Amino acid sequence: MKETTRIIHINSWEEFKRLTKALHPEFIAYAAQNAPLSRPPIGLRLMFTAENTQYVFLDFAHGHAFQRSKLPVHLGRGGDAYFKEEDLSNLLRSELDRKDISIISFEVLGY
């Protein structure tokens, strides 16, 4: 018997929130990534799993916030863009109305 994992790309912030609430994952993993066409050039990848499916949401910076989630984007002294993990955790827990969900960096998972 062969199990396959499906990957579903979620296109809107509202749909991400709806699916996360409906599927009630234990954790959401995130990663900052280079997004050379964004200004500033930073992207955010959010991912969770349910059964044999991975759900992936991508967001890109536009000015001082990510375009879809509205997560604030900060600029370091060298001009590098970043977001605060605390801001992300607070945003997700507030928007999803879940204090029990774990927010885990892909870096912690070894990626």
Domains of the chain: 6-105 (3.30.720.90)
5-21 residue pLDDT tens: 899 999 999 999 999 99
**For position 38, what pLDDT does the model report?**
87
N residues, the chain: 111
Please, which pLDDT band fits residue 110 given cuts at 50, 70 and 90? low
CA atoms within 13 A on the CB side of 69: 27
pTM of the model: 0.90
Contact assessment for residue 73 and residue 42, using Cβ atoms and an 8 Å cutoff: yes
45 C-beta neighbours (distance < 10 Å), count: 15
Name the residue with tokens 């997700």.
92
The count of C-alpha atoms lying within 13 angstroms of the C-alpha of 82, restricted to the half-sphere facing its C-beta, is 9
How confident is the model over 17-26, as a mean pLDDT?
97
pLDDT tens digits along 45-101? 999 999 899 999 999 999 999 999 999 999 999 889 999 999 999 999 999 999 999
Q: Using pLDDT thresholds of 50, 70 and 90, give the confidence band for residue 106.
A: confident
What Cα–Cα distance (Å) separates residue 105 from each residue in 45, 59, 63, 76, 88?
Answer: 10, 16, 23, 20, 11
pLDDT at 1: 53
pLDDT, position 31? 96
Q: Which of 68, 70, 73 is nearest to 57 (CA)?
A: 68
